[in-house]
C-alpha cells in the first residue's frame, strides 16, 4: 500500500503531489518508478528507526532527481561551485548524488542539510551518517524491485540493524568495484573503514 505523506514542516516549498510532478518531468518511467519505491521503503525504515517520515519521503523521492542530467551539467556545476576537483575523475554514479544535492537546493528549494546529505551520500555513504542518511542509503539498495545476489541478506540485516545494513552494502559495493578494477571514490573508502570493521559480526 502506498503511503502518502502530507508535507507540513516546510522542508520543501512544494506539496508531495507537486514534488512528484517535478520528478515525473525530470525522470524516465523506470527511474521515476524506482524513486517512488525508494520513498515507500524509506518511510518504512524511518518508522522503525525513529526517523522523521516527512524527511524520508522527500529525500527518497529526490535522491535520483539529477540522475538523468547530461554529464556536462555536472561538470559545469563542479567548476561553478568550486566543488572537490577529484569529482572530475568520476562520473554520473558519483555526481548525481554529490552534485545532484546542489541542484536540488537550487531547483527544488530544499535547504535542510540532513535531506541534502542523504541525497549527497546515497551512493558513496560517508564515515558519519545520520539516521536519515542511513535510511536513504539502504532504501535505495533494497527497494522491492532490487534483484541481485545478496539482496535478501541485505534486507534481513537491515531489518535487524540499520547500521549493519550500511556496513553490508558498503562491503558489497567495494567488492564490486575492486572486482572490476574500477576506481574507488575516496569517500567510499572512508565509509568502508568507518562501518565495515565495526559490524564484522553482524554482516558475516
State which residue, 112 or 140, has the beta carbon closest to Fe ion.
140
Question: Hunting for cell 519505491 — which residue is that?
Answer: 37
How far apart are CB 136 and Fe ion at their closest, in Å?
A: 9
How far apart are CB 133 and Fe ion at their closest, in Å?
A: 13
CA dihedral 173, 151, 36, 8 (to 10 degrees): -80
Contact residues for Fe ion, defined by CB under 5 A: 64, 140
State which residue, 5 or 61, has the beta carbon closest to Fe ion.
61
| Cα–Cα distance list, 16 to 88, 91, 103 (Å) | 33, 30, 18
How far apart are CB 87 and Fe ion at their closest, in Å?
A: 15
State which residue, 39 or 64, has the beta carbon closest to Fe ion.
64
Q: Report residue 116 CA to chain centroid gap.
A: 10
CA dihedral 58, 75, 24, 55 (to 10 degrees): 0
| CA 39/CA 61 separation, integer angstroms | 5
Q: Where are the alpha helices (DSSP H) in 6-52?
A: 16-26, 29-48
State which residue, 13 or 183, has the beta carbon closest to Fe ion.
183
How far apart are CB 97 and Fe ion at their closest, in Å?
A: 6
Amino acid at each position: 500500500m502506498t503511503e502518502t505523506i502530507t508535507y507540513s514542516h516546510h522542508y520543501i516549498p512544494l506539496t508531495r503531489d507537486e514534488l512528484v510532478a517535478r520528478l515525473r518531468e525530470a525522470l524516465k518511467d523506470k527511474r521515476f518508478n524506482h524513486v517512488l519505491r525508494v520513498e515507500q521503503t524509506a518511510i518504512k525504515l524511518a518508522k522503525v528507526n525513529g526517523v522523521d517520515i516527512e524527511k524520508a519521503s522527500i529525500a527518497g523521492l529526490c535522491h535520483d532527481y539529477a540522475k538523468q542530467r547530461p554529464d556536462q551539467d555536472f561538470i559545469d556545476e563542479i567548476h561553478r561551485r568550486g566543488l572537490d576537483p577529484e569529482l572530475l575523475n568520476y562520473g554520473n554514479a558519483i555526481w548525481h548524488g554529490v552534485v545532484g544535492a546542489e541542484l536540488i537546493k537550487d531547483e527544488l528549494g530544499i535547504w535542510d542539510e540532513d535531506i541534502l546529505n542523504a541525497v549527497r551520500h546515497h551512493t558513496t555513504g560517508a564515515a558519519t551518517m545520520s539516521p536519515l542518511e542511513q535510511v536513504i542509503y539502504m532504501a535505495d539498495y533494497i527497494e522491492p524491485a532490487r534483484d541481485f545476489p545478496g539482496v535478501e541478506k541485505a534486507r534481513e540485516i537491515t531489518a535487524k540493524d540499520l547500521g549493519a545494513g550500511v556496513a553490508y552494502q558498503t562491503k558489497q559495493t567495494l567488492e564490486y568495484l575492486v572486482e572490476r578494477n574500477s576506481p574507488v571514490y575516496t569517500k567510499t573508502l572512508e565509509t568502508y573503514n568507518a562501518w565495515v570493521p565495526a559490524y564484522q559480526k553482524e554482516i558475516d
